[in-house]
Each structure stands twice: as structure tokens, then as C-alpha cells.
Structure 1
């Protein structure tokens, strides 16, 4: 509980944590808006395919132009300024940079960036959870082999949920379930970038003002992102996932203890020890008060009468039996909280969550009838959405991971609602992402 004090100390000593950021989009910009006011962290460089867009975003969040005018990374190190470039390799090769933040949102590129950073002895904070969902365990093992840290991004829901699970276990509680909230109705599964803002609750003007990417936000709405983040939570905590995908039961925060019990006790879970997502809408589309849409939660069990009595004595909201309760963080602030990961990794050499196993996977599910010859456009697009499955089932049935369903051509027709399989696509087998995924399948499933 003293990260800020330690950051101030690093500042006073003249040894700030030196960071390189790959990807200057929404998440990265949110981080940059905060880091400018923090001691002890120096963003040496920012790499993006569009340096001019990064510069525009820096101006948007109030960075003085001279603060990001360094002509080279070496100059940025020496002058405590920032260099903006389109060359991500220059960041990972710069010897003074300690931590690479991968925030491109492109899972194929993210795997390459992470592996490259490990080879250069750099710690990695991976914002691109799409990559973590299909090969995060492999990335964690590669980091361990290299003697560096691989971490989830604090501020995103997986890291926050992992923190709550760790709180519960370190306190001595049995974890029954954990997860996040969402706004969900079954027909959202078919949403596209053309329909996302109507469902999301923003106007096109608000989306434009915020420089929001409709494909990225549609990945949240159509169920892909909840599946991706639930996979990351499961792989980071050792919890299991539903056999046939997320159920999205509707409920308020106070409903969670009743919902998140095994079925035989009146809940929705196949068994204790699961990941799930709670919807903020009733099945007829009405908003539920006191929802958890933007937050995360953990459900714990009082497995002795003493603990049950403690819940009662301290007026804890529980299920009707008095044995199940929830702790939660109602809001997550995305990139505005990312400095917690930077401080944790840079000061304590401790990740804010990482995959400890390969228990969960996210498979590509056809949004509509797909014809041979069509090109899949990945999460949030027009062709597929993400479905959460146990990794053992996904691998056994040769389901195509959503993270690899980008710009690949179908060889076979796939019916709406059916998973796409490896045999249905022509895919580049030379990429780092493909090779790492296949290595994980062969070794750990």
C-alpha cells in the first residue's frame, strides 16, 4: 500500500522507471493522461503505426509539445522527454527501457511484441488481453524462461478480478465464483460496428468526441470481450469456465451471492469454482438498479457456522442461506489505472495478474451463415464473435481461437452459431502467434 511513496522515492533519487509504450490508442492515451502527473515514471518512447495520431492524442490530454519532441530515444533518456516513432523494435532494443507496455489491441502483433521484448530482457505489461486469452500461459512461461515479468494490465477487468480472488484466498475464504459485469441481451451476439452505438448507449457524436473505435467497442457488446476477459480471469486464477459458454445471468450487485451458487443450491453454476458474467439488463431489456456492468466481483462461501455468523453479525448482504457473499469493485477505469501495473512491476517485480494455466479458451463463433471464400475479421467485426469454452474442449474439437480469426479466409461454409475450426480456414502457420498457440496445445492440454 505504498506504491506512490516508492514512486516519489525513485523520483527523488533520479532513477525513474523507464517505460516504452507500443500502441497510442484509447487505452494508451488514458495511461499517458495520468503518467504525466506521476513521479517516478518516465515514458521514454511511444511506438505506433501513426505517430501523428499519437502526437494528436498527447496534445488532447495536455502534454506540452516540447515534452514529446525528442528526436531519438537516446535523447529522450538523457533529457527526460519522450520520442514518438513508428518503429516498435527500437523501443524493445533501447537498453535503458525496463518495461514495455503492449497496447496495440492487435493479438497477432502483440504476441510478436511480447516475445521480442522478452528476448531483450524487458518486462511486459500486456494490455492486449485478446492475445492473453489464447496464449497467455505460453507468454507467461516464455517470460519466466527469460527471467522477466509478464503481467496483465491493472485497470482492465481481468487484473482487477484476479486481485479480488487473491484477496479472498489470502484472507482464508473459499472462492465460489468470480467475474465481471456486462450489458447483455442474446441478440447482441449479432451486433456489428454499424449497430454498436445504438446498443451501447452513446450517440455517434459522443463516440466521435471520444475517438472511440466502433469495432473495438463492438467486441465488448457482442460478447467477445467478456469471453476474452473471462478466459484471462480463469487462466490467471485457476477457476473453471462453463462448458457451453457464459450464461450472463441478470442481476444487481446484491443478487450475485444468490446467482453465483451451484445449481443444486439454486444458483446458475455447474459447480463451485467458476468464472461467470452478470448482466445489468433483465431479459426484457430493463435496466437493473445497482448493477455491476463496469466492475468485477468475487463470490465467497462461509463454509463454517462461525463464518456464517460473522457475516450475520457484521450485516453482510448474503444469499438466503447466509453463507454466500460478494465483494466487488464497481468501476474499472481502464488506462487511467495502468500506472499501478507499472509501479508493481517496476518497484516490486510483481505482476498484477498473469496466466498460471491454460484452462479457458475463446473460440470464433459464426455471427451469421458464412460462405467459403469469406475473410474473417476477428473480434468486434461482422463475421464472428467470441465464445468461452474450457481449453480441453476447444483443443479436442479443433476450434479456431478468436485471437487468430483475423484476416483468414474460410475454406468451408460455417453455419450461424457454430464454432469455426482450424480445418475451416487457410491460416499463416509462420507467425509467432500461431507457433506459440500450437506449442501450448501440444504441451499443456
Structure 2
């Protein structure tokens, strides 16, 4: 990104690199490690935490770090010594990194809400910026985590590269032109709410990914979180529960059909909406539809091949995930800039729907599992009906039967004991929805 590259080159030349500790060593995290170590001047990946140490070591060795140079640490003292020596470091205790001197930014790359919350809060309490790829965490607790970030004088942000961050960058670009964004959209290749880790196993194996994560892409949970966090950053809403999510013939150019995919009144009345489309190209990109109220500017937009309006299409035809994450670290550490952050009271939540008939006494599994899928819903509805956020559903025990496609509420479950995520959610609800209590 222009400006960031110059700042990072200066940081390298002046020997003041940004020191990064990464939590997680899965498929995406290993790509980030490779990008930072091999291709990002002015930044050092000084430590990696993962519950399986072998994966943390693998993240380093895949980036050509010699295995005999890597130190294992299990205490503040051994971590401090390794960091002081400049040795690449691994640990199975993520909270060690969050509390350590010698680390400027924590990269959280787990996709887990409860664990991600523990990492984020601990890191911020110790004065560290947090950059996360965890839309599930931000979509569940992002508003209160921004309160914590302000309290501790740090940045908490989602990352560049993943679709929400790419969307937010495009939104800011469009808004900066004087065009009013009325829809933030996402392009997907598949949506089937009944997919599960068994049906997605072959695809996951082909790409070396987690079948539960892959399932969350297919069953609509991930797209719901992605659009929810964009809504919460922009003040937009959803036009209906689950969004419109139209499907077009595979390979259909978005520009040919986008003007007819969504009811115009849903875009122009109110703060705008978030939504998605299945099957269009360029996929898997993102797009923004905007309007302009000045006739001369409308004339210029038509001259520049964006059409006569009233809707103007802007899109980014790719998202490059881990390649762009170092930009997010630099934006936070060098410029105090967030890529995507909840702007206040939540606008859209992701609620829990039953993927199959469920029965009292069952314990709900995790995101992208066999039992539930997520749907985007406006937050005021979620509060009024006390619906269960799917980010908090894992580990809950059902108190009654729920039919397939039924929506699960707080009244339907017993929450697990002593979860930080539930405590943070209670703080968030009390702060932003006091009049609804």
C-alpha cells in the first residue's frame, strides 16, 4: 500500500522494526509468517504461539528459518531472553506473548471466539495493538473490544486482505470520492446452509485447510460474519434476515446484473445495506454500490464509464488474504489506523439457526460444524428477541428441541460457565442496549 511501504522501508533502514507476535499457526497463519519473514522489510515475526508446537515450528521453517535457530519458551523469563537474543521463538502459551515486553503487535489468527477474546483483552491490557483475521470474534464482541482498545490506548482491528478489510478499504475510497455508498457487497461461489465437515472434507484436504473452517464458508456463517462486521463499521444494516443473497448463473459478470439484484428502495432508504451475491464474477471479490446527488458529477461518472446511475458500481476483483496482513500491522503500529473497527452500537449480528433437527440435552458444536449455521440479522431485532449469537453457541446445552432451520434464543440454552466471551457480551449489551434491558 502506498505510504506504508515507504514507512516500512524507513523503519528497516533505521533499525526499528515492528515486532510481531502471532497467535495461531494454521493454514492462513503460516502464509502470514512467510510474508512477514521473507517479503516485509521493517517488520519482524519474533514469536509464534500455537497449542501444537510442531505447527508453530513449521510456520518458521516453511519460511526458511533453520529449525535449530528456533527457541521453545514456557515462561516470561525464557521468552524475554529469547526476544533479547533475537531468536525466533515458539510457545504453546499464547498469553505469554500478550504480556511480554519486546512485542509491539499481536496478530490473532485463530477463528475462535472465546480464545480470541482472551488473547485480545490480555494483549490490550499490556499495551499491545491487536490485528485479527477473526471476523467471528469481531462480529460477536467487536463493539466492546473497541471500548477496551480506547481504554488502553491501542488499536484493535480486523486485517487487510480478507474480504471485510478489502470491502472497508473500497468503502473509504468510494466515500472519499463524494459518492455515497448504499450497498457493501461480497461475491461468493457457493452457499448451502446444510453443508458440514464431512461434505467439505475433500475440498479441505485438497487445499490443506480445516474442514470446519471450510464448512463455515459454504454454509453461510462466514459470509454472515463478514457482512456483519462491515455493517458495524459503516452503520449499514441488512434488508432482511439472512440478506437477499441472490444467485446468478456461474460466471455472470457482476456489472451486467448488479443493478437488478437488490430492490432500489432497500438501498436508498436508510443507511444502506450489506449483502452478497452467489455465482458472479469477478469472484471472490467485493463491491460497493453508490449514488451521487450532483448532476455534474453524475455526468462525469457517466463519462468515466460508470453509467448514468442512479447506482454506480465499484469493485475489487480479488482478496489476497495473508499477503496484505503486514499492511494492517503497519497501519496500526505506525499510523494508529484501523482497517475495520466497530463504530459503536452494533448494527448487525449473526444469529444461530439449526442445521438439522436438534434435541434437548445436546451440546452445540462449533462454527462450521454439524448442528448450526449463522444468519445475519439487525441487532435491534436480536436484542428484542434475545437471540443467541452464533459466536457464543459452541458448548451451549439445549434446553428444548429445535426444528431444522429453527432460530435459537438465549431462552433455549444453558451457557457454559465462566467464559470471558459471555462476560464481554454482557458488558457490550449493557453499554449499548441499556434501554432494552
- Tell whether the structures are fold-level matches, with TM greater than 0.5: yes
SS of 2:170's equivalent in the other structure is: helix
Q: Which of 211, 215, 220 matches 1:214?
A: 211
Deviation track 1:359-392 (CA, whole Å, cap 9, x = no partner) reads 1100010011111111211221000000000011
Shift of 1:269: 8.0
Q: Which of 399, 407, 415 matches 1:411?
A: 399
SS of 2:12's equivalent in the other structure is: helix
| Structure 1 residue 9 corresponds to structure 2 residue 4 | no
SS of 1:195's equivalent in the other structure is: coil
Deviation track 1:340-369 (CA, whole Å, cap 9, x = no partner) reads 101111111211111113111000100111
CA distance in 1, matches of 2:72, 2:241: 52
Q: Which residue of 1 aligns with 2:291?
A: 301
Correspondences of 1:273-288 after superposition (within 5 Å): 273-280=272-279, 288=280
Shift of 1:272: 6.0
Correspondences of 1:135-284 after superposition (within 5 Å): 135-185=141-191, 188-196=192-200, 204=202, 207-208=204-205, 210-251=207-248, 252-255=253-256, 257-259=258-260, 262-264=263-265, 273-280=272-279
Shift of 1:89: 1.6
SS of 1:353's equivalent in the other structure is: coil
SS of 1:335's equivalent in the other structure is: helix
Q: Which residue of 2 aligns with 1:21?
A: 22
Change in CA separation of 1:246 and 1:5 when aligned onto 2, cut-off 3 Å: same
Q: Is the 8 A contact 1:11 1:40 kept in 2?
A: yes
Q: Which residue of 2 aligns with 1:401?
A: 389
SS of 2:376's equivalent in the other structure is: strand
Deviation track 1:290-314 (CA, whole Å, cap 9, x = no partner) reads x143111111113232122112212
SS of 1:34's equivalent in the other structure is: helix
List gaps (5 residues or longer) in structure 2: none
SS of 2:315's equivalent in the other structure is: strand
Q: Which of 377, 390, 401 matches 2:378?
A: 390
CA distance in 1, matches of 2:427, 2:290: 35
CA distance in 2, matches of 1:140, 1:374: 34
Shift of 1:70: 6.2
CA distance in 1, matches of 2:185, 2:3: 27
CA distance in 2, matches of 1:436, 1:69: 34
Q: Is the 8 A contact 1:378 1:385 kept in 2?
A: no
Deviation track 1:305-354 (CA, whole Å, cap 9, x = no partner) reads 212211221222x4xx5321111111111122110101111111211111
CA distance in 2, matches of 1:272, 1:87: 43
Q: Is the 8 A contact 2:353 2:408 kept in 1?
A: yes
TM-score, normalised with respect to structure 1: 0.90
Correspondences of 1:332-371 after superposition (within 5 Å): 332-357=319-344, 358-371=346-359
CA distance in 1, matches of 2:282, 2:163: 12
RMSD: 2.0
List gaps (5 residues or longer) in structure 1: 198-203, 281-287
Q: Which residue of 2 aligns with 1:91?
A: 97
SS of 2:247's equivalent in the other structure is: coil
Q: Which residue of 2 aligns with 1:36?
A: 37
Farther off after superposition, 403-412 or 214-223: 403-412
Change in CA separation of 1:220 and 1:240 when aligned onto 2, cut-off 3 Å: same
Q: Which of 100, 107, 111 matches 1:101?
A: 107
